[in-house]
Amino acid sequence: MAINAVCIFMGNLIGSLIFLQQQTHDGVVHVTGQIRNLSEGEHGFHIHKSGDLRNGCMNANSHYNPFNKTHGASEDEEKHVGDLGNMFVESNGVAVLDAKFEHVTLHGHYSVIGRSVVNEMQSYIIKELDKNTKTKAIEGK
């Protein structure tokens, strides 16, 4: 069964990331979307352990790392589940993401749904998309 999720950025950062996983646990997660109002340059892009947003990113804890690995780049074999590498922000403050990750899942015990993406000291929760309506709209794009 396909699971889709979304991470919506509100406040200083604006935009959304869509997480799509078409197959079961082994399916690649495809992340697409756009974030605006970022500072120019390379930004680390990570999923943090907690979705607790009550105190900015302070309660989000460290990178999601259920297998007790060492932090790494997205192309490294040894990395946290939450390590998605860097995204590049243009001078207009916009980052466009379109990447596939084999080490991330939306299924089961190690799902990243309910965890958070942190950027520029703000954290944003990853939520499962409504199965009936929004999912179809995105697939039909």
Q: Is residue 60 within the footprint of Zn ion (CB under 5 A)?
A: no
Stretch that binds Zn ion, among 9-17, 56-64, 90-98, 103-111 (CB under 5 A): 56-64
**80 near Zn ion, judged by CB under 5 A:** yes
Distance in Å, CB of 65 to Zn ion, minimum? 7
- What is the C-alpha R_g of the chain? 14
Q: Nearest to residue 88, comparing CAs of 79, 97, 80?
A: 97
CA 132 to chain centre: 22
85 contacts 92 by C-beta, under 8 angstroms: no
Of 11-19, 69-77, 92-100, 106-114, the segment contacting Zn ion by CB under 5 A is 69-77
Nearer to Zn ion, 16 or 74 (CB): 74
Closest residue to Zn ion in the complex (CB)? 63
Angstrom distance (rounded) from CA 82 to CA 84: 6
DSSP label at 11?
T
Residue 49 binds to Zn ion (criterion: CB under 5 A): no
- Residues that bind Zn ion in the complex, under the rule CB under 5 A: 63, 71, 80, 83
